[in-house]
Amino acid sequence: MEIKVVDDFLSPGQLKEIQEMMIFNQKFPFHFSEVTNTSSLSKEYWNWYANHLFYEHERSTSDYFKFVYDIFIPRLREVDNLQSLMRIKGNFYPYTSTLKEHDSHIDYEFTSRAAIFCVNTCDGFTRLDDGSKIDSVENRIFFFDGSKPHNSSTTTTAAGRFNINFNYI
């Protein structure tokens, strides 16, 4: 499964709507997780994140699901042949004074497609199993095999790193 990076994935208006929903909306519910993934039990001050589950196990889990679905799913079908949606999750990784890289993890134990949409630009990144590093650039989405190890990072250049993850077949 090849890695694919697409810049300017959404229209400027759609990007602004997503940023207003996730970053600039004081009522958007993020849920605190004291570790970034279950393979890491490190409870260092920086090794946390917040998430928002939009969709999982064939059901909506968020009041924002339809909004996100209507913007992204037609484009994902067009660009990467999405056929069966498994999960949509928003992530927030905090600012740290030095850039910190989280432990690697896999999304699912079977071959499946993962796509990460960057909501904002910062010096954070995702590292993939082949060692490649995909920088967080707003309106960028990248596609890879979610069953392969990958990891996230914090940011030193923004209040936080925001992205939306999609898992599908």
Q: Per residue in 55-85, pLDDT tens?
A: 999 999 999 999 999 999 999 999 998 999 9
- Around 47, how many Cα atoms within 13 Å sit in the side-chain half-sphere? 14
Residue of 129, 85, 123 lying closest to 105 (CA atoms) = 129
**Residue pointed to by tokens 């998430």:** 51
Q: What is the pLDDT of residues 89-129, one digit of tens each?
A: 999 999 999 999 998 999 999 999 999 999 999 999 999 99
Q: How confident is the model at residue 46 (pLDDT cuts 50, 70, 90)?
A: confident
**Cβ–Cβ < 8 Å for 72, 21:** no
